[in-house]
Amino acid sequence: MKQHYLTLCITAVLGSQSLWASEIHNTEVNLDGRLDEQQWQSAHQFKQFYQVVPATLTTHSDKLHAKAFSNAAGVYIGIVNFQDRASRQKQFNIQDAFMQAEFNRIVVDFAGDGSGAYEFAVTLGGGTQDAVLTPQLTKDGDWDGDWQFATFEADDYWSTEVFIPWHTVSFYNPAQGTESALGDIGVSIQLYDLGKNYIYSNQKQTTSNSDFYLGMPKLKSAIPNHSQLSFVPYFSHQQHFAEQAKNSSQSDVGFDLFYKPSHHQKLSVAVNPDFGQVDSDEVDINYSAVETLRSDKRPFFTQDIAVFSVQALQDTKLIHTRRIGAGSDDGREFITPIDLATRFVHQGETMQVGAFAVKEDDLDSNAGKRFYAARAKYRQKYWQTGVLATHTERPWLDRQATTMAWDSQYQSATWSFQGALLASEVEQQQKQTGNGASLQLGYQFSPNTNLEGRYLKLNKSFDNSDLGYAQRNNWQYSEAKFSHAINTQSDWLARIKHSLTLSYEADSQGLKLPARQAYLSQWLLASGGQIDLHLDRVSGGWQDNLGRQSQAFEVPGNWETRIMYVSPYIGKFSWAASFEYDQEGFDGRAQQYAIDMTWLPHPNWTLKFNNFYRTGDGWLVASDTDQVTQYQRDFFVNKIQVSGLITDKLEFSSTLEWAVLEARSDDVYSIQAHNRHRLNNVDTSFEDRRLSSQFKLRYRMGALSDVFLVYRRGGAVGESLPGNQIGAEPWLERAKQLWQSPSQDSVLLKVRYKF
């Protein structure tokens, strides 16, 4: 068993003790990863860390060592890892991609009050991740911050320096307007041992514990008054080559303007903003009535997201920013241009307020939309409460929609509570009002044992679809979950974690719906591998949300079983595989296979090869209104990703993904008076084939300063065919046809630069 010795340098305080940074160092550090400047010699240090994964909470004074300081520009963090070359793994990853190397993770709560935090991670090899942590401890990895790092390698250690400027985020500074008062900054350090999958931290909590913010060590630091004005113009040009686009081209120019008069206030204005995402969405074949929830990487919407966060269960959101700039209401534009967007955020000691407004282009048909949101929140040490209101105007549909939420949150060392009361009002020819509630209560017996209860209710008239997201309305969802982990000292097993989830679902009138009862056993091996065992029971009930506004009908209960193995991440090759055997539909069976393989041919390059295949004869789809088909189907998805570093600032990444769905109708039923009636001589068989590829070069000039060159090519074909013709052509031949006759074939050049 390998032993990893890591030393970490950061300004921090452990436990209940406080380190006072009585002076601000005004000398800048040469960010080269060496930690040889004089400032590091006088910085504060500590050595005691806790093992938090597995959560034995054993102390390790011999593993880690910490130092740090701050100056007028920001916080400097240094990390020294005492590992020889043979025992450490070096690997680069594209920003925010999976990190398969030795890495350190830092979480900083700049206000020190649990109103939100920011996560920064650096790998040996130069890979990074950054993310926003909301007050509810949900993570949004779409945020990209302005921070810097450098690494250095020697034979028996490697080291990293990280610099986080004060202006990176908006936060309340309790020392604002004073000369001598010091501010509390929450600092959490997690060190990841790749060989074992162990995590060490300077606090006993991880973000899976509700009291994470309460347990964060605090740094006493003089935070200087600061104002900032940033101007980020952009230019993009896209050339289309596909026949459907008639070899057209499009150019665009716009800018984002950010002004911070102080740390706790920020005004953002965007004129014809850069709302186009560079990266394509993954291939999505979805025949259910539940919309696929997608993330948003657009810079304007990833900033200050924690202020507007309202936590409701089952991904229920009042603000889903992918609605903004989406398809026009007249159906003519897939992406609607944005004329103007503005946002203001103020974060006080107990009050936070924020608001934004976005105006889409009116287009010729007045099909553009208007979006407005306002947020106010009051917080104390253990609890917070606030309101959120949104309003959407859609002139082309003669529709106006308003939503509101009142949310509250409480957390202590053992108890946690999150609740929200929701309301909606939609006016289109007539007025419709709806309401809902989301409640979550948790009790932590120990770091290894916890119990949670959840309840969500959305009545039949609740509608947040204009700016928000919900899986469905007319829904009551109840869940109880118990989790317990056993940490062992075995030579082959490090931890066994069990979880049992019991749920009940019904519509708002009490009609019982299918609900999942799930058992999961996770075995963390001493080698760094992991085995997961799933056993689920989906209880029978009424299916009322299959799609096409079909009436409800009864479905039987089914069992699902799954086993998955994840290999250790060390070495040049790693893999994960799973097998699932399920009952499905009325009387069908299904088998599912997945295998993911990763090859690291060079510390700068990564190749991933992912395959998914599901086959069975009980897939239920609403093939028409009040008509349901049970299909025999084969569904295959293949994805190949290549990414790497060409030079220190030039990155390359590519994704090729293709999917094939073959659905042969087995039994077709009409639904009459909520009963099934078999239809004879009805064939609803179909095929769906899709291909998406992207090849991207990114030249980094700094934070929010890049040059992108992207080539995209892909297509999709869906058609109804007689069942005996389904699968007549080989899958690879179909992928070849989509490549040769694409519906998307374009080159994009985009330049942005932050002044």
Reported confidence tier of residue 489, pLDDT bands at 50, 70, 90? confident
pLDDT recorded at residue 179:
52
Give percent above pLDDT 90 in the chain. 68
pLDDT recorded at residue 428:
96
DSSP letter for each residue of 605-671: EEEEEEEEEEEEEEEEEEEETTEEEEEEEEEEEEEEEEEEESSSSEEEEEEEEEEEEEEEEEEEEEE
Reported confidence tier of residue 16, pLDDT bands at 50, 70, 90? very low
Q: How far apart are CA 184 and CA 175, in angstroms?
A: 9
Reported confidence tier of residue 712, pLDDT bands at 50, 70, 90? very high
pLDDT recorded at residue 311:
86
pLDDT recorded at residue 131:
93
Reported confidence tier of residue 11, pLDDT bands at 50, 70, 90? very low
Helix, coil or strand: residue 385: strand
pLDDT recorded at residue 23:
35
DSSP state of 469: B
pLDDT top residue among 35 and 565: 565
Q: Is the pLDDT of residue 14 over 60?
A: no
pLDDT top residue among 64 and 237: 237
Reported confidence tier of residue 113, pLDDT bands at 50, 70, 90? confident
The dihedral sign for the CA sequence 268, 273, 275, 279: negative
pLDDT recorded at residue 17:
30
Which tens digits make up the pLDDT trace of 638-694?
A: 999 999 999 999 999 999 999 999 999 999 999 999 999 999 999 999 999 999 999
Query: Distance from CA of residue 733 to its chain's centroid?
Result: 35
Burial class of residue 475 in the structure, from the number of CB atoms within 10 Å of its CB (0-12 exposed, 13-18 middle, 19+ buried): buried
Helix or strand holding residue 232 (H, E): strand 228-240
pLDDT (mean) for 130-153: 90
Which tens digits make up the pLDDT trace of 559-596?
A: 999 999 999 999 999 999 999 999 999 999 999 999 99
Of the segments 104-118, 473-487, 724-738, which one has the largest average pLDDT value? Answer: 473-487
Reported confidence tier of residue 20, pLDDT bands at 50, 70, 90? very low
pLDDT recorded at residue 564:
98
Of the segments 105-119, 180-194, 461-475, which one has the largest average pLDDT value? Answer: 461-475
Q: Which residues, 6 or more positions from 559, have their beta carbon under 8 angstroms from its beta carbon?
A: 535, 536, 537, 538, 582, 583
pLDDT recorded at residue 175:
62
pLDDT recorded at residue 519:
98
pLDDT top residue among 427 and 282: 427
Ramachandran angles phi, psi of 395, nearest 5°: -60, -40
pLDDT recorded at residue 178:
54
pLDDT top residue among 8 and 380: 380
pLDDT recorded at residue 1:
35
Which tens digits make up the pLDDT trace of 212-245?
A: 999 998 888 888 887 889 999 999 999 999 877 6
The model's pTM:
0.91
Which tens digits make up the pLDDT trace of 66-107?
A: 787 888 888 888 888 888 888 899 999 999 999 999 999 999
Ramachandran angles phi, psi of 219, nearest 5°: -105, 125
Q: Which residues, 6 or more positions from 673, have their beta carbon under 8 angstroms from its beta carbon?
A: none
pLDDT top residue among 190 and 524: 524
Q: How far apart are CA 505 and CA 503, in angstroms?
A: 7
Written in H, E and C, the secondary structure of 253-311 is: EEEEEEEEEECCEEEEEEECCCCCCCCCCCCCCCCCCCCCCCCCCCHHHHCCHHHHCCC
pLDDT recorded at residue 2:
36
DSSP letter for each residue of 482-527: EEEEEE---SSEEEEEEEEEEEEEE-TT--EE--EEEEEEEEEETT
Reported confidence tier of residue 181, pLDDT bands at 50, 70, 90? low
Give percent above pLDDT 70 in the chain. 94
* Half-sphere exposure for 601 (CA within 13 Å, toward CB): 7
Burial class of residue 369 in the structure, from the number of CB atoms within 10 Å of its CB (0-12 exposed, 13-18 middle, 19+ buried): buried
pLDDT recorded at residue 114:
87
pLDDT recorded at residue 533:
98
Cα–Cα distances in Å, from 689 out to 159, 240, 615, 684, 695? 48, 22, 16, 17, 21
By mean pLDDT, which of 109-113, 507-511, 628-632, 741-745 is the weakest? 109-113
By mean pLDDT, which of 168-172, 387-391, 453-457 is the weakest? 168-172
First to last CA, the chain: 50
Facing residues of 158 across strands? 81, 153
Average pLDDT, the chain: 90
pLDDT recorded at residue 244:
73
Which tens digits make up the pLDDT trace of 492-504?
A: 999 999 999 999 9
Reported confidence tier of residue 736, pLDDT bands at 50, 70, 90? very high
Task: Quote the strand ranges of 21-172, DSSP E.
Answer: 44-46, 50-53, 66-70, 74-82, 103-109, 117-123, 128-133, 139-140, 148-153, 158-165
**Which two tokens mark 11?**
């300004």
Q: Strand 218-221 vs strand 19-20: parallel, antiparallel, or unpaired?
A: parallel
pLDDT recorded at residue 271:
86
Q: Report whether 99 contacts 119 (CB < 8 A).
A: no
Q: How far apart are CA 649 and CA 698, in angstroms?
A: 8
Q: Report whether 142 contacts 295 (CB < 8 A).
A: yes
Among residues 706, 751, 697, the alpha carbon closest in space to that of 252 is found at: 751
pLDDT recorded at residue 274:
61
pLDDT (mean) for 707-721: 95
pLDDT recorded at residue 9:
35
CA-based R_g, the chain, Å: 27
pLDDT recorded at residue 219:
81
Q: Is the pLDDT of residue 21 over 60?
A: no
